[in-house]
A = this chain, B = another copy of it.
Amino acid sequence: MEFGFSEDQLLLQQTVRDFLAGECTPEWVRGQWQTETGRSPEFWSQLSELGLPGLLVSETQGGLGMDETDLVLLMEEIGRVGLAEPLTATAVGVGLLRSLGDASLADAWLPKVAAGDAILAVAHPASPFVADAHVADLLIASDGDSLHALPRAALRLEAQTSNDGSQRLFRVDFDARDETRIATGREARALEAAALDRGALCSAAQALGACDQLIALAADYAGQREQFGVAIGSFQAVKHMLADVRVKLEYARSHVYRAANSVANDATGRSVDVSMAKIAACEAALLAGRVSLQVHGAIGYTYEQDVHVWMKRAWSLDLAFGDAVFHRARLAAGVIDRSLPAESFGYSHPQRVPTPTAGLG
């Protein structure tokens, strides 16, 4: 039992953080909003040099051979800078290809992913819109029963405009053919479920980063901005709003890290663990957006200030890979209908235990 990260893991996180802080400034992110695809092949190359797209790809296929406990730390950094390159889409795609019974697709694609030469994406019915489908070289989607692996040319995309300039969403249509089919029935559903969980986990981890950044922006501003002759950060109202967000972030992080472990090990409670992570992290990030805006006041409400960059990320991450309604329903189904409490972390609940009526304290 050890609930923490290794020094190597934390070092890689720091490396990525430093890299992104230098490269992926708010100006750069906002610049991407103006481009047609919103995605930068040059930047993708740089990310590939760091190994990020191939993080989950085995070392023999040219990847880093790491797992989701490594990935979440980096996804936090991605969220911290508000980056929206198709790292989530690719991670989800890699996870799915790795799990196919037939290794040929993985053998064909994963080395290319690790080399930065291919982008993957997976569609899931919980989200009617697929992010980054326009830049995916291979997209995996269901026809209702079977999963199909579809090269870009086989897709018909209908672009949707998100309020978040970083988010590029598409409705996807295609003709299912025998030669694109990669899994059917039960196997297809299991793969799809795992893909959703991996995508939701990545979104949750990014939400942690966005939350942290929104707190940092507000704390920084509150320490500088003076009204009534003092820094507004000295007012309890400001302190307490931010402290409440910090509390939420702390406990959301615990859920996300545990969910990462559950996804990496395909643990029994994986889906519920992921839903808890998604709910907690997105809620923290959404609250951070509101509080950060309130602390900034009118200046935060302007387009030129950067608060909205992360606030909009929080909004779109909340909707990605299952919205809050979806994940709360899945949580309740786990806790209430299947009486998961008996499997609660460490603690196991006997049926209708007698409760001590005395000795609270």
Cα separation A198 to B235 with both chains bound (whole Å): 45
The distance from the CB of A292 to the nearest CB of chain B, in whole angstroms, is 18
Cα separation A49 to B236 with both chains bound (whole Å): 51
Interface residues of A in 211-251 (CB under 8 A from B): 235-237, 240
Residues of B within 8 A of A240 (CB): 236-237
Q: Nearest residue in B to A236 (C-beta to C-beta)? A: B236
Cα separation A240 to B240 with both chains bound (whole Å): 11
Interface residues of A in 141-160 (CB under 8 A from B): none
Q: Nearest residue in B to A237 (C-beta to C-beta)? A: B236
Q: Nearest residue in B to A235 (C-beta to C-beta)? A: B236
Q: Nearest residue in B to A238 (C-beta to C-beta)? A: B236
Interface mask (A334-345 → B, CB under 8 Å = 1, otherwise 0): 000000000000
Cα separation A256 to B102 with both chains bound (whole Å): 68
Residues of B within 8 A of A237 (CB): 236-237, 240
Residues of B within 8 A of A236 (CB): 235-237, 240
The distance from the CB of A241 to the nearest CB of chain B, in whole angstroms, is 10
Cα separation A235 to B237 with both chains bound (whole Å): 9
Q: Nearest residue in B to A240 (C-beta to C-beta)? A: B237
The distance from the CB of A157 to the nearest CB of chain B, in whole angstroms, is 26
Cα separation A236 to B228 with both chains bound (whole Å): 14
Interface mask (A295-312 → B, CB under 8 Å = 1, otherwise 0): 000000000000000000
Residues of B within 8 A of A235 (CB): 236
Cα separation A236 to B238 with both chains bound (whole Å): 9
Cα separation A236 to B239 with both chains bound (whole Å): 10
The distance from the CB of A297 to the nearest CB of chain B, in whole angstroms, is 16
The distance from the CB of A302 to the nearest CB of chain B, in whole angstroms, is 16
Cα separation A235 to B235 with both chains bound (whole Å): 9
Cα separation A237 to B238 with both chains bound (whole Å): 10
Q: List 5 A-B contacts (CB under 8 A).
A: A235-B236, A236-B236, A236-B237, A237-B237, A237-B240
Which A-B residue pairs are the 6 nearest by beta carbons? A236-B236, A236-B237, A235-B236, A237-B240, A237-B237, A236-B240
